[in-house]
Structure 1
Amino acid sequence: MTNEFHERNRLSWDAATAAHNSHKGDQAAFFRNGGSTLFPEEVELLGSIEGLDLLHLQCNSGQDTLSLARLGANVTGVDISDEAIRFARDLSEQSTISAIFHRADLLTYFAEQASTPGRFDRVFASYGTLCWLSDIDAWAQGVAHSLKPGGRFVLVEFHPFAMIFDEQWNMRYDYFDQTPIASDGVSDYVALSGEGLAPDGYEAGVETFVNPHPSVEFFWGIGDVVTALAKNGLVIEQLREYPYANGWKGFERMRDSGGRRMVPPQDMVRLPLMYGIAARRAGR
């Protein structure tokens, strides 16, 4: 059944990805002119990556992948969406920034790589990735298996506590309910976030996008994530929580507090909206 869920999500992402990129203008020119889509949080947790082999999980259309390559890493990106990987390869060629891209369901990719462990100095994932994974333990095992001894895994993700709210900030979802959630499909969250997710300037692009393919999301609390990583031999070195969400206006009346850090409206208390993990595979 999980394979069926992943296939639904692949189709949904194929449809949404085209809409997302329609709002971002000439991305190849953005990169040729020195642009980067990375935020300070992930750069700090990753540390220096020059000359290192880096695996970027669920890389979407490759913007962060190419930004990591520009910092000197040898980067491999993996994503389930055919449209995302097609766009990423084109963007790599047009921007003249080299990276390798694989189109694959991430859990399938990990299984296929089981015979070649320890290939990467860094493994990286960010922003809205875990909710598309049906098996957090298989994911953590794949992360650990991909790292060289002493290698580091970095995750920057939206905080699961924020997911108890609906878009109007009403408490609606049970934090501890891990029943898969069916939805109308991957939304055009780039349109909803405007310049927050279009650093080179927002363009109208596709308007009133409706995804023809429904999707299925999974919920993993911070305890689930940390436990899965620890069970598979990773030493948690940092766990940080942030009172803002980079780029993403996921709720009504969110505002930019500076640097595209989106925070709740002024009449609300601060909430954990994002978290970061840095973990090391034991050994040298």
Structure 2
Amino acid sequence: MDNTSGAAAPVEDNRRHWDERVPINTASSFYDLDGFRAGDEDLDRFQTDELGDVTGLDLAHLQCHIGLDTLSWARRGARVSGLDFSAPAIRTATDLAREIGLDHRARFVTADANDAVEALGAGAFDIVYTGNGALMWLPDIDHWARTVAELLRPDGRLYLAEFHPLTDVLDDARGDTVTRDYFSRAARTYDSPGSYADWTAETTHNTVTEWHHSLGDVISAVAGAGLRIEFVHEHDTIPFQRYGSLVAEGARFVYPDRSRRLPLMYSLAASAPVR
């Protein structure tokens, strides 16, 4: 779905927002960088099960923020390239890779996701990965899918783990009542002070814009870019308390009533054709 008309200014607002949040997130217990340095992993179990062994593979992580997911894949044996439009985030990720001794297997590049082919190289990757809370910041999901296809080698794979788009339209208190139009394609601009990693943090750049992409939009964009859908799985866990009613289950959150669940995340895998 093409929403690029007039998107330049909102994207720049988003970049300033994320630049300001980097030191907040880096210092937070939410990201727990000390635990990560000590060996903790920042990936859902379903992600590692579904993607499988990445040893020796070249993996690009689009919209990588401060690089914890990226470096988790590097720890599992991949050669990783992380990309994000926030220069402070990329500096943090680069420093972290050096601190934990993975700078020989990880590089980080500052660029917009739309420019990933020019920044990282066409046909250079066995896997393109993108993780939690990334797609909502993209005005044009079709452009993103075409970019992914260009990054992949023949028979390479896209692996996506994302918040379910249904979570965009449910109420914040209980997560069981529809409060917005699931099918709306209108950009949503709003004020977002603080950070999900520390809601008490004082911030200045608080205006953000999100673009809602339904599950059908994402699947259609990936297929339209020439990739073969392998699976789409929906999941009932999420790594933060998205709704007030969710309860902790280990390091993740779930609905308290296991007989009345809605999807909180989804994962998708798709493969490039063998040429």
Normalising by structure 2, what TM-score? 0.90
Task: Please give the alpha-carbon distance, in whole angstroms, between the structure 1 residues aligned to 2:60 and 2:212.
Answer: 23
* Cα offsets for 1:15-46 (capped at 9, x unmatched): 12221222139966534432221121211222
Residue in 2 aligned with 1:253?
245
Residues 1:167 and 1:57: Cα distance change in structure 2 (over 3 Å): same
Letter in 2 for 1:67: S
Match of 2:262, SS state, is coil
RMSD: 2.1
CA deviations on 1:193-248 (whole Å, 9 max, x unpaired) are xxxxxxxxxxxxxx444453311000000100000000111100011001121x11
Alpha-carbon distance in 2 for matches of 1:26, 1:243: 21
- Contact kept? 2:21, 2:195, Cα under 8 Å: yes
Tell which deviates more after alignment, 168-177 or 222-231: 168-177
Residue 282 of structure 1, CA deviation: 1.1
**CA separation of 1:282 and 1:5: change in aligned 2, threshold 3 A:** same
Secondary structure at the counterpart of residue 44 of structure 1: helix
CA contact (8 A) 2:19 2:87 kept: yes
The 3 A distance-change label for structure 1 pair 152 and 94 is: same
Q: Which moved more, 1:166-175 or 1:81-90?
A: 166-175
Q: Give CA-to-partner distance per residue, 1:126-157, whole Å, 9 cap, x none.
A: 10000000010110000011000101110000
Query: How is 1:20-35 mapped onto 2 (pairs within 5 angstroms)?
Result: 20-24=25-29, 29-35=34-40
**Which residue pairs with 2:236 in the alignment?**
243
Residues 31 and 22 (structure 1), Cα distance of their counterparts in 2 relative to 1, 3 Å cut: closer
Shift in Å, 1:183: 1.5
Per the alignment, residue 168 of structure 2 pairs with 163
1:228 equivalent in alignment to 2:228? no
Name the residue aligned to 1:274. 265
Deviation of the 1:11 alpha carbon: 0.2
Match in the other structure for 1:195: none
The reply to whether residue 141 of structure 1 matches residue 134 of structure 2 is no
Residue in structure 1 matched with residue 129 of structure 2 by the alignment: 124
AA in 1 matched with 2:181: D
Task: Look up the match of 1:174.
Answer: 181
- Tell me if 1:184 matches 2:187: no
Asked whether the 8 Å contact 1:182–1:215 carries over to 2, the reply is yes
Contact kept, 8 Å, 1:185 with 1:211, in 2: the verdict is: no
Map of 2:212 onto structure 1: 219
CA gap of 1:136–1:18, structure 2 versus 1, over 3 A, is same
| Runs of 4+ with >6 A deviation | none
CA contact (8 A) 1:76 1:101 kept: yes
Contact 1:53 1:119 in 2 (8 A): yes
Secondary structure of 2:154's aligned partner: strand
1:95 aligns with 2:95: no
Residues 25, 139 of structure 1: alpha-carbon distance in 2 compared, 3 angstrom cutoff: closer
Partner SS state of residue 278, structure 1: strand
Q: Does 1:86 align with 2:91?
A: yes
- Structure 1 residues 253 and 27, CA, compared in 2 at 3 Å: closer, same or farther? closer
Question: So what's the TM-score if we normalise by structure 1?
Answer: 0.87
Percent of aligned pairs with the same amino acid? 36
Give distance in 1, aligned partners of 2:156 and 2:21.
Answer: 33
Higher relative contact order at CA 8 Å, sep ≥6: structure 1 or structure 2? 1
Counterpart-to-counterpart distance in 1, 2:15 and 2:111:
10
Residue ranges of structure 2 left out of the alignment (5+ in a row): 1-5
Aligned position for 1:43? 48
Q: How does 1:57-76 map to 2 (within 5 A)?
A: 57-76=62-81
Further displaced range: 249-258 or 266-275: 266-275
Q: Which residue of 1 aligns with 2:3?
A: none
Q: Which amino acid aligns with 2:150?
A: H
**Structure 1 SS opposite 2:55:** coil
Q: Give the match's secondary structure for 1:190.
A: coil
**Matched length:** 266
Q: Which amino acid aligns with 1:97?
A: L
- Structure 1 stretch 167-176 or stretch 139-148: which is displaced more? 167-176
> How far is the alpha carbon of 1:270 from its aligned partner?
0.3
Q: Is the 8 A contact 2:25 2:31 kept in 1?
A: no
